[in-house]
């Protein structure tokens, strides 16, 4: 894609979108990113007129209704309907406006639950989904299939889906009510350091393994995808291809935050699934792999946590 290409991003105010906009700005790549107030993807007519008027060369769909297990369990209707509606409104409007290039963001929740092997792209829809966020996952699978079907019906349209693994990084959500493992660990260790807590508890024995990639790496992958759109596979995992034990996140996190106390394992607490790992051979064959080490990623995330004032706000709350 040329330097003058017009790129439209949805979800520019979210964690993925803000990381993408930051990395893109550092490389002088211009991206148009209307907020949900400027362009509500639930409003089909508004989306249709916006795309017909703007006529971007490429659309990146990173908006969605995203939430933790509790929110997904409480409101499966909302997660299913909103993610499907946003996806289909945008993708059908892009097709109707004659936009030939689109990158849709999926999620590793599209894969069957409890898979013993690393998840390969062809495993999507090959088994039962995780019940705790099934509505969300069904919508993600359906939107990815819609992209596929559009290409199948008309090969001039290249609508491709990237499947990122779990992410952490700058612009993450650190509030314990909404946070994933990595920001939760950072916040917990920071509080423990500030309050001189002698021991931090870890749920279970800490051996469960999790694949978390630095969000800046996903931003790099999306920019590479825009650059080399023609060779980008239709469906591609974007992950580390390796994982770390929960204990590793605490150990490295403690070094970065400067927490010098002990860890105590609470074996009465649930540990969740033991492992969920993406197979990244397709991305490697395409010529991309994640570059940020866990140490560097955690350092950048902790700096954001301190500089953005999130640490102070949460400590005051």
Ligand X SMILES: NC(=O)c1ccc[n+]([C@@H]2O[C@H](COP(=O)([O-])OP(=O)(O)OC[C@H]3O[C@@H](n4cnc5c(N)ncnc54)[C@H](OP(=O)(O)O)[C@@H]3O)[C@@H](O)[C@H]2O)c1
Which CB sits closer to ligand X, 7 or 200?
7
Integer Cα distance of 305 and 299 in angstroms: 10
Are the CB atoms for 119 and 108 separated by under 8 Å? yes
**Least distance in angstroms from the C-beta of 17 to ligand X:** 5
**Least distance in angstroms from the C-beta of 57 to ligand X:** 20
User: DSSP secondary structure string, 35-72?
Assistant: -TTTS-TT-HHHHHHHHHHH--SEEEE-------HHHH
E strand segments, 169-297: 199-203, 209-210, 212-214, 235-238, 244-245, 262-266
- For residue 171, indicate whether it is catalytic: no
Integer Cα distance of 70 and 67 in angstroms: 8
Scan for tokens 């409480």, then name that residue: 74
Which CB sits closer to ligand X, 41 or 208?
41
Q: How far is CA 109 from CA 101, 114, 132, 162, in A?
A: 24, 11, 10, 13
Which CB sits closer to ligand X, 15 or 51?
15
Q: Which residue is nearest to ligand X (CB)?
A: 14
Integer Cα distance of 173 and 211 in angstroms: 18
Which CB sits closer to ligand X, 36 or 115?
36
Integer Cα distance of 233 and 130 in angstroms: 26
The active-site residue out of 111, 136, 302, 305 is 136
Residue 223 is labelled as binding a ligand = no
**Least distance in angstroms from the C-beta of 316 to ligand X:** 23
Integer Cα distance of 253 and 92 in angstroms: 43
**Least distance in angstroms from the C-beta of 293 to ligand X:** 18
Q: Which residues pair with 119 in a beta bridge?
A: 278
Integer Cα distance of 49 and 47 in angstroms: 6
Point out which residues bind ligand X (CB under 6 A).
Answer: 10-11, 13-17, 35-36, 40-42, 62-66, 86, 105, 107, 164, 166-167
Which CB sits closer to ligand X, 66 or 142?
66
Residue 14 is labelled as binding a ligand = yes
**Least distance in angstroms from the C-beta of 219 to ligand X:** 11
Residue 166 is labelled as binding a ligand = yes
Residue 188 is labelled as binding a ligand = yes
Annotated binding site: 11-17, 105-108, 140, 164-167, 180, 188, 203, 210
Annotated binding site for substrate: 188, 203, 210
Annotated binding site for NADP(+): 11-17, 105-108, 140, 164-167, 180
Question: Catalytic positions, please?
Answer: 136
């Amino acid at each position: 894609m040329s330097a003058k290409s017009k790129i439209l991003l949805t979800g520019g105010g979210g964690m993925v979108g803000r990381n993408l906009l930051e990395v893109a700005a550092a490389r002088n790549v211009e991206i148009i990113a209307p907020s949900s107030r400027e362009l509500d993807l639930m409003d089909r007519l508004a989306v249709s007129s916006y795309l017909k008027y703007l006529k971007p060369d490429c659309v990146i769909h990173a908006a969605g209704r995203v939430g933790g297990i509790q929110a997904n369990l409480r409101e499966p209707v909302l997660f299913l309907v909103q993610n499907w509606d946003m996806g289909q409104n945008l993708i059908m409007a892009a097709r109707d406006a004659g936009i030939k290039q689109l990158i849709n963001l999926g999620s590793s929740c599209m894969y069957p639950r409890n898979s013993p092997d690393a998840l390969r792209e062809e495993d999507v829809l090959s088994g039962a989904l995780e019940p705790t966020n099934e509505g969300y996952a069904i919508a993600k699978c359906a939107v990815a299939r819609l992209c596929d079907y559009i290409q199948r019906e008309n090969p001039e349209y290249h609508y491709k889906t990237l499947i990122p693994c779990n992410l952490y990084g700058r612009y993450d959500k650190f509030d314990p009510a909404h946070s994933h493992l990595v920001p939760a660990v950072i916040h917990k260790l920071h509080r423990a350091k500030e309050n001189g807590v002698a021991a931090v508890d870890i749920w279970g024995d800490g051996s469960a393994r999790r694949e978390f990639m630095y969000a800046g790496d996903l931003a790099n992958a999306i920019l590479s995808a825009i650059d080399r759109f023609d060779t980008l596979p239709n469906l591609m995992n974007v992950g580390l291809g390796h994982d770390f034990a929960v204990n590793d996140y605490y150990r490295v996190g403690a070094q970065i935050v400067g927490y010098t106390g002990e860890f105590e394992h609470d074996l009465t607490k649930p540990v969740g699934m033991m492992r969920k790992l993406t197979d990244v051979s397709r991305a490697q064959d395409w010529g991309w792999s994640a570059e940020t080490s866990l140490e560097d990623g955690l350092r950048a995330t902790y700096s954001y946590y301190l500089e953005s004032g999130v640490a102070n706000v949460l400590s005051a709350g």
